[in-house]
A and B are shown apart, each in its own frame.
Chain A
Amino acid sequence: MSSETDTGRGIGGRVSGAAGRVGGAAVDGLSTVTEPVDRALRPIATVYNRTLGGYFGEMNGLQFVLLVGAFLGLVTIPFWGNYTLVQATWLACIWGIFAMSWDIQSGYTGYISFGHSVLSGGAAYTTAMLLNNVNAELPMRITIPISVLIALIIGLAIALPSLRLSGPYFSLITFVAVLIFYRLIRPLSEYTGGETGLGGIETVYSTDPVMRTYAFMIPMLLIAAALLIVARSNIGLILVAIRENESAVEAAGINATKFKIWSFVLSSIPMGIGGVLLAHRFGTVTPGAFVVVDNSIEMIAMAVVGGMGSILGPLGGAFLVIMLEDVVLSGFESEIKWSILWLIVLLILVFARDGLFRKLWHGLDRLGGDRR
């Protein structure tokens, strides 16, 4: 029974080594129970590994159960969840999109963006401003593509000049970009609605109750699948290599700048989609809820909590944070709630720096024993 199977063998072998070795003894004891479970489930996992594994990454029986179980639990939420949980799920889907989008750019390349809310905010404001300043009757099939396009343009406007700079300067520029956007909203209040924001956006409540959830969940799942495919491909490998050793990437004959800009494109498009969904979630777009720099930091927190550089980790992190915020801690007043949340983030940063879901994933890898 080897816990190291995944570490060296996979060609893009991920960090896992050190994290996997820690706490070995306890896990080895447990695995006498879990190994048979894993063996029983392995045939299904094997079918998956042979067909889709190459695109999304291979897994063992236990990991397969975790993912399929989470997936089934999620898609059936409208049928078993109460109102609070269902509403929290909508928001978790949107923030999951943000956290995954942040991850494919910042988590993978290591060029940490502190300003991703400028992308989602830009898309949300585009939708709101089109409806308020151009024509209130514009259909979504017009407002949505334009809004996502604007997010992409903002993304490129930030990425093109700044990604040639070294990490800290890049981070600072993204940070300043949000501050500028936020400050511009008030002087331009004639068009932006200032502090009170812009309403008049069709909300999700106009659709059938069950479909409301899927309006958020389906885009989230499609984005998750697309980003996973990218992350498990050569492109993901190159983005990680940029994070680990940019000069090696250039020496390999690969244009690192081009790939950094591409990661920003891959990030901006889903950020725009998430921003539009958020606009249609609330019907009103305000600087406080859509642009403020805290939003950018919350995305990072979710990604870090889940395990950055893994796509699914940040998605899980987003669900965890939103469920804590809106369900578990919903009784506390906002200030206290956020103090508790940030404290939890801090504890995870100190004690589980690789992220909770990455730890869980590697734990299952050990519990499942050898895959072959």
Chain B
Amino acid sequence: MSVLEVDGLTKKFGGLVAVDDFSFEVGEGEIVGLIGPNGSGKSTVFNCIMGIYGVTDGAIRFNGTDITDDSTHEVVNKGLSRVSQESNPIDSMSVAGNIKLFTLPNSIVSLRGGASEEEIYDYAARIDIEEHLHEMPDELPHADVRRLEIAKSLATEPEMMLLDEPFAGMNQAEITELADQIERFREQGMSMVVVDHNMGGLMDLVDRIVVLNNGDFLAEGTPEEIAENEQVQEAYLAGEGL
């Protein structure tokens, strides 16, 4: 059974159709790559899944439950978590404080609770930023800020993670390291959708790739199939390479 089902998703911004009747599914334990040239609607798909944007048409189901009209915190509490393209840590709180926020119960009468220091350490250690727990986010190098975003996401104990351009701005060594970490999440049973604008970091990582072009579904297949797909090559010809 599919964990995540996006069914005929359409999102319009005024006259602009950012996503047009787009469908895809993610199975349990699967890593799906979602690629497409810049502006093709990848982030918009994530924003619709996460309840940031209301959908114009279509349905989104998670574990068989309809989450199309859920608000963000409801989606998160059902086990879906997104790492945004832009990092947005709270600069006045330490790395540990930023992670802790993501473990707090959604209860107005819970004075204590949330993760203990050991648990926060464990979340940080899963993505190798446990050395930086007491630093402030603005003291961290770019790659570690990105890792903090992933640690926050892990702290919500998701069943599935949506990663929006996790490799952006990283050098080759950092990309390889992060790909290994993502691979480890999968071994721990996590399902994932990884967005990137090209296939570089995804080739060895993902089971399957879905291609989005101008908001439309373009192709789907194994990384090898997609690399050889002529339509995909054409779509990318206008802009950057695959």
Contact = CB atoms under 8 A, between A and B. Distances in A.
A22 B104 CA distance: 33
B46 to A, nearest CB: 12
B94 interface: yes
A234 B113 contact: yes
Interface string B71-98: 1110011000110100011111110110
B123 to A, nearest CB: 13
B136 A254 contact: no
B156 A252 contact: yes
Nearest to B75: A253
B92 A14 contact: yes
A249 B101 contact: yes
Contacts of B184: none
B88 A253 contact: no
Contacts of A229: 111
A12 B93 contact: yes
Contacts of B120: 11
Nearest to B93: A13
Interface in A218-267: 229-230, 233-235, 237-238, 240-241, 244-245, 247-256, 258-259, 262
A247 B88 contact: yes
A15 B52 CA distance: 29
B96 A255 contact: no
Given A234-B111, A235-B111, A254 B100 contact: no
A7 B135 CA distance: 9
A244 B71 contact: no
Contacts of B101: 237-238, 241, 248-249, 252, 254
Contact of A244 (B81, B90, B155): B90
Nearest to A15: B92
B29 interface: no
B171 interface: no
A161 to B, nearest CB: 17
A11, A15, A245: residue with the most chain B Cβ atoms closer than 10 Å: A11
A53 interface: no
B104 A254 contact: yes
Contacts of B100: 11-12, 237
Given A8-B135, A8-B136, A234-B113, A253 B73 contact: yes
B73 to A, nearest CB: 5
Given A252-B101, A252-B152, A252-B156, A233 B112 contact: yes
Nearest to A244: B90
Nearest to A14: B92
Nearest to A17: B136
Contacts of B52: 247
The number of chain A residues touching the other chain, given as a range, is 20 to 34
A255 B93 contact: no
Per DSSP, chain A at the interface is helix
B108 A251 contact: no
B110 A253 contact: no
Nearest to B79: A253
B90 A11 contact: no
Nearest to B106: A254
A256 B114 CA distance: 16
Contact of A241 (B84, B90, B112, B135): B90
A141 interface: no
Contacts of B134: 8-9
Given A8-B134, A253-B76, A253-B102, A235 B91 contact: no
B156 A11 contact: no
B221 interface: no
B105 interface: yes
B91 A244 contact: yes
Interface in A114-164: none
B97 A248 contact: no
B71, B111, B120: residue with the most chain A Cβ atoms closer than 10 Å: B111
A84 B209 CA distance: 78
B88 A13 contact: no
A253 B92 contact: no
A251 B94 contact: no
B108 A258 contact: yes
Contact of B108 (A15, A235, A249): A235
Contacts of A15: 92
A64 B100 CA distance: 28
A252 B104 contact: yes
Contacts of A251: 50, 72, 76, 81-82, 84, 102, 152, 156
A249 B102 CA distance: 8
Contacts of B81: 251
A42 to B, nearest CB: 22
A365 B47 CA distance: 44
29 contacts: A9-B94, A11-B97, A12-B97, A13-B92, A13-B94, A13-B97, A14-B92, A17-B136, A229-B111, A234-B104, A234-B111, A234-B112, A234-B114, A235-B111, A237-B101, A240-B92, A245-B88, A247-B72, A251-B76, A251-B82, A252-B101, A252-B104, A252-B152, A253-B73, A253-B106, A255-B71, A255-B106, A256-B73, A258-B106
Interface of A: 7-15, 17, 229-230, 233-235, 237-238, 240-241, 244-245, 247-256, 258-259, 262
3 nearest CB pairs, A to B? A253-B76, A233-B111, A250-B72
